[in-house]
Amino acid sequence: MKTYIVGNWKLNFTVGEASIYLHKILKNLPAYRDVEVVVAPSLLALQPLSLQVDRRKMKLAAQNGFYRDYGAFTGEVSFSQLRGIVDYAIIGHSERRYVFREDDKMIAKKVEAAVRNRITPILCIGETESERAFGETSDVIRDQLMGGLRDVSDDDLDKVIIAYEPVWAISSTKASKLATPDEISEVVKLIKKNLTEIYGAKLADEVPILFGGSVNPSNAGAYLTVPGVNGLLIGGASLILSEFIDIIDTAKRVRS
Ligand code: PGA
């Protein structure tokens, strides 16, 4: 399985800035066959960047998308419109869940629509600080995982990526708010167990599991060596050229 390094640019960069930044990344990045580098610019930048990107080096992801293909849905962009422009889509990010009130039902429809349009969904799941404190982590993980994959058949499971992103570890500046490799390992096991229960061990083993939450060049190596972790979803550090490249190089090093 490849190692995935996914940069989530969130609501940053104008289209012009995004284009310049992409150019710089491409210039500094060798084509690594075993490391799949993906960036998720804002929706507005996706189309022009799709003409600029060198797909041997890097793929594009949408940060969101709508589950209906067309119709009276003012302001939305569908996965059918994104088809051919992006290879991946981040779905169910905690900011979508908590700022925009997306629930598992809506997220499941988005996952299904992405798969139907040949876009690989990166389904984000993760507990909040208080859910962890109340011992609810395993229930939350199970609910979000099974809720999000509700409409994914056995045949389509290999078209899905899971990202474990503990909400309390996202955009953290304090060391105490960083997930430890042991904490991540425990949840990755849980994800595998749940997937195995529903889809069987053979199919479950093929699903890449990424970790995200304040990943930076100094912790990327430790996170990438957690058993069962197949890559990283990176916010803040993906906006800084040297840090993003450093993390990609770490991924390459850890594999060889
Ligand atoms: P962060 O963001 O790396 O800035 O914590 C990760 C994410 O929200 O996907």
Alpha-carbon separation of residue 90 from 27, 29, 71, 163, 180 (angstroms): 25, 23, 22, 9, 23
Average pLDDT over residues 212-224: 96
pLDDT in tens, 95-135: 999 999 999 999 999 999 999 999 999 999 999 999 999 99
Chain mean position to CA 7:
8
Q: How far is CA 40 from the centre of its chain?
A: 9
Q: What pLDDT score was predicted for residue 173?
A: 73
Please report, for the chain, the start and end positions of each structural domain, with discontinuous segments joined by +.
3-255
213 pocket-lining for ligand 1 (C-beta < 6 Å): yes
pLDDT at 25 > cutoff 90: yes
23 is catalytic: no
Q: Where are the alpha helices (DSSP H) in 74-180?
A: 79-82, 94-98, 104-116, 129-133, 137-148
Give the distance (Å) from ligand 1 centre to CA of residue 1: 23
Whose Cα sits closest to atom 9 in ligand 1?
A: 235
- Using 50, 70 and 90 to split pLDDT, how confident is the model at 256? confident
Fold of the CATH domain 3-255: TIM Barrel (3.20.20)
The pLDDT of residue 176:
72
For residue 143, pLDDT over 90 is answered with yes
CA of 70 to the centre of ligand 1 (A): 31
Q: Tell me, yes or no, if 197 is annotated catalytic.
A: no
Ligand 1 atom nearest 94 alpha carbon:
8
Can you read off the two tokens belonging to residue 40? 């998720």
Question: Measured in angstroms, how far is the CA atom of residue 213 from the centroid of ligand 1?
Answer: 5
Does residue 171 line the site of ligand 1, with CB under 6 A?
yes
Mean pLDDT for the stretch of residues 22-46: 96
